[in-house]
Amino acid sequence: MKKLKFAKAKKRDGSVLKMSEKKVVSRNIAIGIGVLYIILLVGMVGVALDYASVLNDKDSQIADLQNQVTFDSSTIDRLTAIGNLTNSTVWVNHESIDQPAGNSSNTYTSWSYSVSYAGYVVVDILSSSNSNTYVELKYSWNGVNYDNTVNVGSGGSAWFPVLPSNNIDVRVINNSFFTGASETLTITYWY
C-alpha cells in the first residue's frame, strides 16, 4: 500500500504556508463569500420589492381600464337606447283638466318642456266630455318652426316628432263654442 502525500501549499514567494496562515486565508474567503451573499440577498429583496411595486401599478392601471370599459359600455348602451327611441319620460300622468267653452285663448291648457334629444311626444286623451278636443304641439329649433294640431275627439292619441328644443309647448284645446270640456290625459316623451 502506498502512502498518500499531500502537497504543501506554497506562498507566492515559494515558501510553504503554515496551518494558521491557511485558516486565515480560508476565513477571509468565507467572509468574502458571506458578504457577497448578503449583497446578493439585499439586491434580490430590492428587485422583488421593485417588481411588487410595478405589479401594483399595473394592477391599478388594469382596474382603471376595466372601470373605463364599464363606463364606456354603459354609455354605449344608454346612447343606443336613445338612438332606438326606447327611453321615455312621462311629463303628465293621468292628469284631469277642465276647460271652458268659447273657442278663445282661454279654452286650452298648456305645458312647456325642454328636450335634449330628438324623439317624439305622445299625448293620450283618455277621456273627454267633448268631441271637439284637439292637441297642438309647437317648438322652434335651429331655424325649424314646428306647429301641428291633431283632433283626438273624445279620446285618442296624438303623436308628434320633436327635435332638441328649450321650449316645446303642448296644448290641449277645447274647440267648442258652446260646451266646456273635461279631459284626462297623459303626455309621454320618447327618446
Say which amino acid occupies 45. V
CA-angle at 173, arms to 168 and 178, nearest 5°: 165
Tally of structural domains, the chain = 2
pLDDT, position 10:
58
88-99 and 119-128 beta bridge pairing: unpaired
pLDDT tens digit sequence for 23-44:
666 888 888 898 998 999 999 9
Any domain includes 11: no
The predicted pLDDT at position 133 comes to 92
Report if residue 1 sits inside a domain.
no
Choose the final residue of a domain: 31, 50, 84. 84
pLDDT at site 178: 86
Same domain? 99 vs 32: no
pTM over 0.85: no
Q: Kindly list the distances between the CA atom of residue 102 and the CA atoms of 173, 175, 180, in Å, as whole numbers in the listed order.
A: 11, 8, 8
Pair 63, 99 in one domain:
no
Residues 79 and 103 in one domain: no
Q: DSSP E strands: which ranges in 13-162? A: 88-99, 108-115, 119-128, 133-141, 144-151, 156-162
Q: What pLDDT does 7 receive?
A: 54
* Same domain flag for 135 and 109: yes
| Mean pLDDT in consecutive groups of 10 residues from the start of the chain, 191 residues | 56 59 71 90 90 89 87 88 92 94 78 96 92 94 94 95 96 89 95 95
Q: Which domain holds residue 76?
A: 17-84
Task: Provide the pLDDT for residue 70.
Answer: 84
Using the 3D structure, point to which of 84, 118, 139 is the last residue of a domain: 84
CA 99, distance to chain mean position in Å, is: 45
Both 100 and 183 in a single domain? yes
pLDDT of residue 127: 84
Burial class (CB in 10 A: 0-12, 13-18, 19+), 24: exposed
User: Which tens digits make up the pLDDT trace of 155-177?
Assistant: 999 999 999 999 999 999 998 88
Instruction: Please tell me the predicted confidence (pLDDT) of residue 23.
Output: 63
Is residue 6 included in any domain, yes or no? no
Are residues 139 and 184 located together in one domain of the fold? yes
8 inside domain: no
pLDDT at 136: 96
| pLDDT value at residue 172 | 94
What per-residue confidence (pLDDT) applies to 78? 87
Count Cβ neighbours within 10 Å for each residue of 149-177 and write b for 16 or more, e otherwise.
ebebeeeeebebebeebeebebbbbbbbe
Domain boundary pick from 52, 84, 116: 84
154 falls within a domain: yes
**pLDDT for the residue numbered 190:** 97
For residue 18, the model assigns a pLDDT of 57
| Residues 80 and 123 both lie in one domain | no
